Structure 1
Amino acid sequence: MVKKMLISMSALLVLFPAMAFAEDPSGATLNMGLNALWVMLAAVLVLLMQGGFILLETGSTRMKNAGHVAGKTIFTVGLCSLIYWAFGYGIAFGGSGNDFFGWGDFFFDPAKTSVDNGLPTTIFFLFQLAFAAVSLSIAWGGFAERAKLSVYLIFTILFTALIYPVVAHWIWGGGFLAQDGAQDFAGSTVVHLTGALAALAGTILLKPRIGKFNKDGSANEILGHNQVFTALSVLILWVGWFGFNAGSTVAIGDGFFGFVAFNTQLGAAGGAVAALLISWAVLGKADIGTTLNGALAGLVAITASCAFVDPWAAVVIGLVAGVLVFYSVRFFEKMKIDDPIYALSVHGAAGIWGTLANGIFATEELASKVGVGQGGLIDTGNWHQLWVQFESVVICGVFVLAASFILLGIMKAVMGLRVTEEQEIAGLDLSEHGNYGYPEQLKKPSGQNIQA
């Protein structure tokens, strides 16, 4: 016990050197240090989810694009970090804003040991930055296997500065939806639906991949090259989600973060089981890809409600998400929308369901504890919270979809969005980067010269 206390105090002294000179460290200072450690750990977990996105998109697409997927993910996370530091954070959380957008704190430069609401502002910034990067990576699902590298560069800037932070301000930064009591604890709408609708705009404007649909409108299955990568990605994302959801308590306090993590696990489990069973029942075979998507859909759905609902409701939310993702994938395919990694279903459809679920299952006790909104229909018999949740989905959805279409439409007219047919057939590894992600398996033909 003494050893553990010494280790904890040493860590706190590293983080907060001023404590070394305090004759009588207060309980408040110790509590701040513990909260800071927890949120910093959560930020690291959320950032490591990018490894899951790399494996998810790589495994779900073809071998000839593997290196491109990995490289552009690292590049865009780096660029997102710079743009969020310069502009995004100020629009989301700037202290001089209004009900519609924040203002101030651009090129964020906090005092070295500044604290806001009991948490170092530097750590809060890193935590929020990791969320912005996740939303951006979700958006890339709609661009996969056919977008120019330059499109990733330009849209990263626009999405991180003008789209994501506006939605974050409305719900998390004290904007008008926050004032209405919109409940989105860790981002079913702010992060997942925002990314999914940007992906929808992208995939519509880019048009389907070569060979995806036949002239009669029927769809061909373009299989990813590594289902083990995809399964591993789901596990990495699942673990990272504990930082995503439980970290959003931004405090250790009375251990409420454990309850949030508990609900998160139940939601994910429900999604995985329901997706396998529905695919088995409908297709006659238990589809592995559907099961993986079901787990992610359960995680997305429980993200908004993990702090507002009882455990039994978390299971129900996950089960519904698992069934929903199965039918959503087929709906988008019938609409001739090519969604290579199923971002629209996993993050879009499940994000909508998860946000609305609060209006049904939230309890008055937990809403009061979190301090946002009120209980849902089942607990209170009142439709008010469900209406607020519906309002937040519609307003945020319309804004993100319209803004993404406008910005990407301008980009399409000015610079084009898609690589040439020759480049797409050769693969983006070669056409955009000059070599292959799997050089031993794919050989560049002698004398071939494909311009990026």
Structure 2
Amino acid sequence: MTIQALHSGLDTIWVVLTAAMILLMEGGFALLEAGFVRSKNSVNIIMKVFADITIGTLCYYLIGFALMYGADYFGIIGKNGFMLKGNFSYLHLSISSDTFWLFQAAFVIAVISIVSGAVAERINFRAYLLYVILMTALIYPIAGHWVWGGGWLGKLGMEDFAGSAVIHALGGFSALAAAILIGPRKGKFTSKEGSSIALPSNLPLASVGAFLLWFGWFGFNAGSTLTATDVRIGHIAIVTMLSAAAGGAATLIYTLFRYGRSDAPSVINGSLAGLVGITAGCAFVSDQSAILIGIISGLLMMAATNWLEAKQIDDPVGAFPVHAVSGIWGTIAVGLFATKGGLFTGGGWHLLGVQFLGLVVLCSWGFLLTWIGLKVINLWVPIRATDDEEEVGLDISYHGIMATHTSPEFINVEDYFANQEKATFKHSKHS
């Protein structure tokens, strides 16, 4: 075996393992969101995650990957590689194109899962399936090409190592557009000044989801080296840990002094905000900068959560504060703290300016394409669940089953697969 073959083999193992870690994050999204929403919508959360993995994966294989990593066409879009057909030598990979696709497919699934949380408890499931196709086949791949696939933002010098902008800011602004367009849950905002709180159904479940996401983030960030022999892997891992810890600590202390108690949902989201914030610069900033990035990410997440409440925008799991706001800050932080090119490290204004430009473009793209896409989808399928469906719960309305059952009775198979009215009656009777 040659040294080159050994190197390629190690890289392949590394990328496949980290891709699997990122895919495990879908379990984290499922548990986190199911724990944050009311129990009558838990199954719907799980089914949306499965839609992300199944339909999203296939769309990215058929179309999305080619648009993102196909040979560059005028800096805007990829033009080859549909269904992984063709020669990808221009990517200069030490791994096979199949292995590279697997890693990137894990990323695209994460993007759509961000939007899922913001529209929890009131989006029509059929409309959501259509939106999954739009995001994974077009919205994310085209934007990703601009930065990572040889497109115009990458050529300008934009730095986003693992996706604070391409994944989180874009996904977060897509989530904001969807949340605004679909509207708040019934009873969420009771007046122009006040709002009501739907208590999380299971915070221990949500915390386990957050820990799974935290674990998967080491694959998210360190795996983006795409090689097992990159000397930066250890540093990437430690700054990922430090920023997450700092984000969680900042929200823990803030809520302790602000409200007289440490608020569990805020601390969970504060840690996630720290992870989002460090994702762009994990290979470019120092340990100390990572701690500062995490602290500011956590505090900005709290400020953005309050802003959403003030604007009466309903985001049940905090997708916009965690992903969009922290993603924006993390991308800007690269322009400030990057050891090479950062404003505060003697690099001047160029990198910071490019980071700002990239953010404006990516956030606008995600928001506008989601808004337009959902408007078009709404012409075919209503994007909002009906009042009755929302009242009963999306679990019964769309999936005919609840997350938990106390009755030991068997249910007739024909009734189980019958129409929604029968399913609702049966499960209401036995609950």
TM-score range, shorter chain: over 0.9
Which residue in the other structure is 1:6 paired with?
none
Distance 2:373 2:347 in 1: 42
Which residue in the other structure is 2:429 paired with?
none
Matches within 5 A, 1:370-409: 375-380=341-346, 382-409=348-375
Matches within 5 A, 1:83-98: 83-98=59-74
Question: Given residue 208 of structure 1, which amino acid in structure 2 is its aligned partner?
Answer: P
Which residue in the other structure is 2:414 paired with?
none
Which residue in the other structure is 1:260 paired with?
236
- 1:159-198 per-residue CA deviation (whole Å, 9 max, x = no partner) reads 1111000111011101100001101000001111121111
- 1:303-324 per-residue CA deviation (whole Å, 9 max, x = no partner) reads 0010010111011100111111
What is the root-mean-square deviation of aligned Cα atoms in Å? 2.1
Which residue in the other structure is 2:9 paired with?
33
Distance 1:213 1:192 in 2: 27
- Percent of paired sites with the same residue: 39
Question: Given residue 46 of structure 1, which amino acid in structure 2 is its aligned partner?
Answer: I
2:215 to 220, 239, 247: 239
Other structure's SS at 1:238 match? helix
- 1:35-82 per-residue CA deviation (whole Å, 9 max, x = no partner) reads 111011000000010000000110000000111111221123100011
Given that 2:61 and 2:82 are in contact with CA atoms closer than 8 Å, whether structure 1 keeps it comes out as yes
Distance 1:224 1:195 in 2: 23
Given that 2:71 and 2:90 are in contact with CA atoms closer than 8 Å, whether structure 1 keeps it comes out as no
- 1:361-415 per-residue CA deviation (whole Å, 9 max, x = no partner) reads 0011xxxxxxxxxx11110151111111101100111111111111111222332
Q: Assess, with a 3 A threshold, how the Cα gap between structure 1 residues 226 and 354 changes in structure 2: closer, same or farther.
A: same
Matches within 5 A, 1:311-322: 311-322=287-298
Q: Work out whether 1:449 is the aligned partner of 2:415.
A: no
Distance 1:395 1:122 in 2: 30
Which residue in the other structure is 2:415 paired with?
none
Distance 1:332 1:81 in 2: 31
Question: Which has the higher mean CA deviation after the structures are superposed, 344-353 or 378-387?
Answer: 378-387
Q: Work out whether 1:68 is the aligned partner of 2:44.
A: yes
Given that 2:397 and 2:420 are in contact with CA atoms closer than 8 Å, whether structure 1 keeps it comes out as no
Question: Which has the higher mean CA deviation after the structures are superposed, 174-183 or 413-422?
Answer: 413-422
Matches within 5 A, 1:50-449: 50-109=26-85, 116-364=92-340, 375-380=341-346, 382-440=348-406, 449=421
Distance 1:269 1:359 in 2: 22
Question: Given residue 238 of structure 2, which amino acid in structure 1 is its aligned partner?
Answer: F
Distance 1:112 1:307 in 2: 25
User: Between Structure 1 and Structure 2, how many residues are aligned?
Assistant: 416
Distance 1:70 1:286 in 2: 28
Other structure's SS at 1:393 match? helix
Question: Which has the higher mean CA deviation after the structures are superposed, 412-421 or 25-34?
Answer: 412-421
Given that 2:80 and 2:86 are in contact with CA atoms closer than 8 Å, whether structure 1 keeps it comes out as no
Distance 1:262 1:221 in 2: 36
Q: Assess, with a 3 A threshold, how the Cα gap between structure 1 residues 91 and 318 changes in structure 2: closer, same or farther.
A: same
Distance 2:304 2:57 in 1: 32
Distance 1:442 1:376 in 2: 63
Which residue in the other structure is 1:367 paired with?
none
Distance 1:216 1:254 in 2: 54
Question: Which has the higher mean CA deviation after the structures are superposed, 278-287 or 434-443?
Answer: 434-443
Calculate the TM-score normalised by the size of structure 2: 0.93
**Unaligned 5+ residue runs, structure 2?**
412-418, 425-431
- 1:213-269 per-residue CA deviation (whole Å, 9 max, x = no partner) reads 013331111111000011111100000000000000011224321111111111111
Calculate the TM-score normalised by the size of structure 1: 0.88
Other structure's SS at 2:382 match? coil
Other structure's SS at 1:331 match? helix
Given that 1:67 and 1:438 are in contact with CA atoms closer than 8 Å, whether structure 2 keeps it comes out as no
Question: Given residue 200 of structure 1, which amino acid in structure 2 is its aligned partner?
Answer: L
Question: Given residue 376 of structure 2, which amino acid in structure 1 is its aligned partner?
Answer: I
- How many angstroms does 1:109 deviate by? 3.6
Other structure's SS at 2:189 match? coil
Question: Given residue 391 of structure 1, which amino acid in structure 2 is its aligned partner?
Answer: L
- How many angstroms does 1:440 deviate by? 2.2
